[in-house]
Chain A
Amino acid sequence: MASRIYLGELEELILLMVALHNREAYGVSITEELKKHADRDLSISAVHAVLHRLEEKGFVKSKMGGASDERGGRRKRLFTITAYGRNALEELRDTRNTIWSLISKVSPA
């Protein structure tokens, strides 16, 4: 593989969440979803930190929008997954699938 994609476990999880709620994902929603689906209780600042990192790496992009009363009239930063991000997720999944298939061949459970 020419260009190695590096994605941490948490980064991958959050990138998946962004993909799940594409265009509507933001700090709080991701935190809540993580708690619900992955049983991960992360602090909001940790989630923000990961999102920033993902944006720096070019996996997601963001824009401000969607002010609402629950937020005291403040806008949120909405995240969208980029094609590169999507690619990365798929590549990771493919790699895993390949390895899993090898595992089941070599040592059947």
Chain B
Amino acid sequence: MNKTPQPPRWIDNLIDLFAPFDLAEEIRGDLYELYRIDINRKSIPAARLAYIANAFGFLFRRFFWKRNSLSLNTPAMLRNYFTIAYRSLLSYKSNTVINVLGLTIGIASALTIFTFIRHELSYDTFHSDIEHIYRVVRVSGKDRSEARTGVSYPVPRALKDEIASFQKITSMEYFGEILVEVPDTSGTVIAQFKENSGLAMVEPSFFEVLDFKDKPIRWLQGNPARALVDPFSVVLTESLAKKYFGEGNIVGKTLRFEKEADCKVTGVVSDFPANTDFPFTMLISYSTLRQIKARMQDDWSTVEDNHQTYIRLPENITKEEAEAQIAKVHAAHTPEDLHRNRLYILQSLSDVHFESRFGNYNSRSVSKTMLLAMALVAIFLLLTCCINYINLATAQSAMRAKEVGLRKVMGSSRRSLIWQFLTETCVVVLIAGFISLALSELLLFKLQSLLNLPLQRHLNDPFILATLGIVMLAVILFSGLYPSFSISKMNPVNSLKSKFTTETLGGFSFRKVLVVVQFTITQIIAVSAFIVVSQMHFFRNQDMGFDQEAIITFPIPHHDDSVARHQLEDRFRAQAFVSNVSFSYTLPAGVHRRQNARSIWLSGKSAPNVIFEYQAADSSYIHLFGIQLLAGRNINNYDRETEVLITRNLAKRLHFSTPEEAIGQPASMSGKDVTIVGVVEDFYNNSLKEDLGSIVITNNTKAFTSVSVKLQSVQQYEALQQAMGALQAIWKETYPTHFFEYRFFDDNVNAYYEQEQKYAQLFQIFSIIFLLIGCLGLYGLIAFVVNRKSKEVAIRKVLGATISNILVMFSKEYIQLIVISFVLAVPVAYYILDSWLSNFKNRIPMAWWMFVLPGILVLCIAVMVIILKSMRTVQANPVDKLKYE
């Protein structure tokens, strides 16, 4: 008989599955006949293609789905499927438990991840015409690589005045911490609050540009049109108003900020939504800023990063046109050096939450790549738990061969067998789905801070329920179809014959492929977790160019009279546990610190103007922070911003070939004449993710806002508590009305890596979950293999095989599979991690052992699972197994 190439089998299966017997025979017969004709007329591939197309044609015909009453899927039959499913799930208990457990972990994690992704993607999506809203940001440096938010104070006004199309433009400045006091009518303070976030100075046009259309912010009290116009007006959110004043009308009451500025409450608005990068709770009128920073209103070079401007562009102007207009205005007002170095560009509002090089008021951005990676992890998690199910179900088919054979002999059609196995999958997935709904609720609660999610219930959230439905359907189809087809395919004669299995472990090669896929994913995640954690370790332990240990910092009152300040310093220094005290404007590095950019150029030379970070400090600063003096001398305490220290990097950028050359050189710092008296070693003024900074340190007592105390040696916890108590007592005596609040400097620096730290934790959790699911699957697989080979093991033992021989026999094949998956995982992991690490200016080099170590760990755990499971069979007495035949 000449062998004609067969049409694709899966198509036939599909038709068999859905059509009643006669119809299926008729359709397949016709399809086959056409296929034969097509082979003669055209080519084989064309014929196969036509076969598939024709078959799918039937699936879209109504008659194909119309049934007369005599169908196999009657309620009675369905009930029977469920009964059988219930019984077989009960009789293979351990298998059922493994399946439900694996699927539950997978589905619950996926649900949690999808909730997280949805939350991140929802940031600031509720404004109207969001595609026309932009933030003005600035890039500087030769290659425009230095990206910062913030615009100089005169910029927004100039833009509005000089560019006709920029009518909807609003500026704001965000303040980190603030001391708020509630005075009574006579001016006596009756309550004091320290707020760590939420204060912003905004223009009345704020709500025009950012209208919060779909999550409206309602005005509960006050006049929206006038509330933010007058200087020293403040609008509170509802919850803050309650906190300060309780219920009732509060318009007209007074709040005192930082003990200096009394503001009148002019309105109350509803709380801002959680998913916004404008996390404001107190809105002070922008005109206040004009008054308190009057001096800087015409300074085009100084920039405060938290002073930001948003524009709603008219529809007929593109981003590029607008950027060109901004550059023209900027160039008209600034010297060439400045506008050549600094370029204002527009960033779309929809990127504010995702573009980490700029950052936002939440100081937390999540890159789209990260979200994609998370989505992939979720999909892979689902994939691995489906693979588990497929593997276990096909392995189980050997045990159920007799059942299938008998059913077929008794007249069961293949189709009803397929439905039966699909029903079993459905039951397992449904159980897993319901448990995972509860589990993911728990997970979200536990991981709330890790994932930055607001607390929310999701049992009644339609998105979650729909996602769960889709996920369950996909899991049922993906993991149910293959096993039910392959099991129902069995030839009853073969399966009813009692067979003595000697087949190799694993059996179907398809199953091996699945195991390899599963472990490849697991190894990629494990290696990623290892390298992310290593990079974090590097961040925390790398020398940044200054000391971080045992330094405590306090904010001090603004415009402090030096008497109290000197008193504080003297009394601090008098303590035995204090080794040094320094006053400064800001700190060398750390989150939430003031950062002030200025420009410097050498007097009388045509050398370019260089942007640097301005750090005002007293003479103890460089000693306290261990910043090394390379040349020249330190600044002294009596100086008033005439002598400066510059870092080595800045000296280089000012074209000095050696640090010594810079000593004594006159320079102009934002228009003020200064002399370079010393050069200090470079240090990182931002995180290690960025390059070394260019910094000027100069004495300016007027600017001091914080005091740093270096403690003697490393303190025991109790001694530290005592020391803090003593410092607090001194503080209270010096500044009786001020809050005593301290921070550890190293915590502040480490906070740079908060987001990365969270990723590291997430990856650790993920790798454990993947490993857990993988090992569950392995455990189930090996259980079947061991069970079926118990006789073979017994005979081998009788013939003299040792226990270790047999254990090697069992684990050898799986070790091979895991090694193959390791080889596949390495290049993928290398590519992914290399691109992640390249985001950082300071990164660890990737070494071979960073891949091998987690690989070996995964292998060891897998082998352990195999040995644990096979041990009982291997140790059993051969007689018990060989007694019956």
Contact = CB atoms under 8 A, between A and B. Distances in A.
Interface of A: 26-28, 31-32, 43-46, 48-49, 52-53, 64, 67, 70-72, 74-77
Nearest to A77: B26
B54 A44 contact: yes
A72 B61 contact: no
Given A44-B31, A71-B32, A72-B32, A49 B61 contact: yes
Interface string B41-60: 00000000000011001101
B228 to A, nearest CB: 68
B57 A71 contact: no
Given A49-B62, A52-B63, A44 B25 contact: no
Nearest to B28: A74
Given A45-B64, A48-B30, A77-B26, 4 more contacts: A43-B53, A44-B54, A46-B61, A67-B29
17 contacts: A26-B30, A28-B30, A28-B34, A28-B37, A43-B53, A43-B54, A43-B57, A45-B61, A48-B58, A49-B61, A53-B63, A64-B25, A71-B29, A74-B26, A74-B29, A75-B26, A77-B22
Given A28-B34, A49-B62, A74 B25 contact: yes
B264 interface: no
Contacts of B57: 43-46
Contact of A64 (B26, B30, B58, B63): B26
The 9 closest A-B pairs by CB, nearest first: A45-B57, A74-B29, A71-B29, A52-B63, A27-B30, A45-B58, A77-B26, A72-B32, A49-B61
B347 to A, nearest CB: 53
Nearest to A31: B34
A108 B63 CA distance: 45
B62 to A, nearest CB: 7
B414 interface: no
Given A43-B54, A64-B22, A70-B36, A48 B27 contact: yes
Interface residues of B, number: 22
Contacts of A53: 63
Nearest to A75: B25
Nearest to A64: B22
A64 B30 CA distance: 13
Interface of B: 22, 25-34, 36-37, 53-54, 57-58, 60-64
A4 B436 CA distance: 60
Which applies to chain A's interface (DSSP): helix, strand, loop or mixed?
Answer: helix
Given A64-B26, A76-B26, A70 B63 contact: no
A18 to B, nearest CB: 15
Nearest to A45: B57
Contacts of B28: 72, 74
Nearest to A62: B26
A70 B26 contact: no
B33 A71 contact: yes
B63 A48 contact: yes
Given A28-B34, A64-B22, A70-B36, A45 B60 contact: yes
Nearest to B35: A72
Contact of B29 (A31, A49, A52, A76): A76
A45 B64 CA distance: 9
Contacts of B27: 48
B18 to A, nearest CB: 13
Nearest to A47: B30
B61 A28 contact: no
A31 B37 CA distance: 12
A74 B32 contact: yes
A2 B58 CA distance: 36
B14 to A, nearest CB: 14
Contacts of B33: 28, 70-71
A38 to B, nearest CB: 18
A41 B61 CA distance: 17
Nearest to A32: B37
A26 B33 CA distance: 11
Best-surrounded residue of B33, B37, B62, B63 (most CB of chain A within 10 A)? B33
Contacts of B58: 45, 48
Contacts of A72: 28-29, 32
A64 B619 CA distance: 104
A67 B28 CA distance: 12
Nearest to A73: B29
A52 B86 CA distance: 39
A27 B63 CA distance: 14
A52 B27 CA distance: 12
Nearest to A55: B63
A26 to B, nearest CB: 7
Given A49-B62, A49-B63, A52-B63, A44 B32 contact: no
A57 B29 CA distance: 25
A58 to B, nearest CB: 15
Contacts of A26: 30
A48 B709 CA distance: 89
A44 B15 CA distance: 14
Contacts of A74: 25-26, 28-29, 32
Best-surrounded residue of B22, B26, B31, B64 (most CB of chain A within 10 A)? B26
A49 B36 CA distance: 22
A44 B53 CA distance: 10
Best-surrounded residue of A27, A28, A45, A53 (most CB of chain B within 10 A)? A45
B829 to A, nearest CB: 47
A46 B54 CA distance: 9
B36 A76 contact: no
B62 A44 contact: no
B34 A44 contact: yes
Best-surrounded residue of B60, B61, B62 (most CB of chain A within 10 A)? B61
A28 to B, nearest CB: 5
Contacts of A43: 53-54, 57
B29 A75 contact: yes
A26 B37 CA distance: 15
A43 B51 CA distance: 11
A56 B160 CA distance: 75
Contacts of A28: 30, 33-34, 37
Contacts of B25: 64, 74-75
A48 B19 CA distance: 14
B57 to A, nearest CB: 3
Contacts of B29: 67, 71-72, 74-76
Contacts of B37: 28, 32
A74 B61 CA distance: 22
A45 B53 CA distance: 10
A76 B28 CA distance: 9
